[in-house]
């Protein structure tokens, strides 16, 4: 068991299982993107560990870069605005794969997808390590999923609780 601040976390997806599934995802990309030179765009911070392992198992020609998503309350509307930071590459006519640690409500990915799609890539897909189908609040097609999980808070392998827990080499779930 791991304690972080006020919460306890118990093992959920062990490292071996994670690594095996990541190799399978890489194999899918090797097949689907052969000779397409895809650009993997990792969403920081959560995806850094996952994309590192995924990238090592990709054997086709490919590139990697990272973005950050900044959220702030808009003064002109009631909604939360999400801004993509850090993308230097020209993605026009590129085959883009957005790599996320987890899709929860789907709102982050919906925004990121929309903003990147407007730059006219040749294709754009979403790949996520974890997916909580019950938490989804917006229509979103997630193309590659590592694990579908129940709607509970998880940490480890890049995912954090208030900044901590990212260094764990497996996924842990909050104990309720
Ligand atoms: P969404 O916009 O609700 O899909 O949220 C996506 C982001 O929320 C993810 O990229 C994570 O940073 C964070 N998040 C959602 N669920 C969890 C969780 O269970 N553990 C840690 N972070 C989470
Ligand atoms: Mg994230």
Indicate the top mutation candidate among 7, 45, 102 to test ligand 1's pocket, ranked by most ligand atoms within 8 A of CB.
102
Ligand 1 atom closest to 161 (CA): 21
Q: What is the DSSP letter of 133?
A: G
Active centre residues (catalytic): 104
- Which residue's C-alpha comes closest to atom 5 of ligand 1? 104
Residue span of the structural domain in which 67 resides: 2-174
Question: Tens-digit pLDDT profile for the chain (176 aa)?
Answer: 999 999 999 999 999 999 999 999 999 999 999 999 999 999 999 999 999 999 999 999 999 999 999 887 766 655 678 899 999 999 999 999 999 999 999 999 999 999 999 999 999 999 999 999 999 999 999 999 999 999 999 999 999 999 999 999 999 999 98
Give the chain's domain count: 1
CATH number at residue 23: 3.40.50.2020
Distance (angstroms) between ligand 2 centre and the Cα of 103 equals 8
């Amino acid at each position: 068991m791991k304690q972080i601040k006020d919460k306890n976390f118990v093992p959920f997806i062990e490292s071996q299982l994670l690594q095996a599934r990541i190799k399978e995802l890489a194999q899918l990309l090797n097949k689907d993107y052969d000779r397409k030179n895809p650009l993997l765009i990792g969403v920081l911070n959560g995806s850094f560990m996952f994309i590192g392992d995924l990238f090592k198992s990709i054997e086709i020609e490919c590139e990697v870069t990272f973005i950050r998503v900044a959220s702030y309350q808009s003064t002109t509307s009631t909604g939360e605005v999400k801004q993509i930071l850090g993308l230097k590459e020209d993605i026009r006519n590129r085959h883009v794969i957005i790599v996320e640690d987890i899709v929860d409500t789907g709102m982050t990915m919906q925004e990121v997808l929309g903003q990147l799609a407007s730059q006219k890539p040749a294709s754009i897909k979403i790949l996520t390590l974890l997916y909580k189908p019950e938490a989804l609040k917006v229509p979103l097609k997630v193309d590659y999923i590592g694990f579908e999980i129940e709607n509970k808070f998880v940490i480890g392998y890049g995912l954090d609780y208030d900044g901590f827990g990212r260094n764990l080499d497996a996924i842990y779930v909050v104990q309720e």
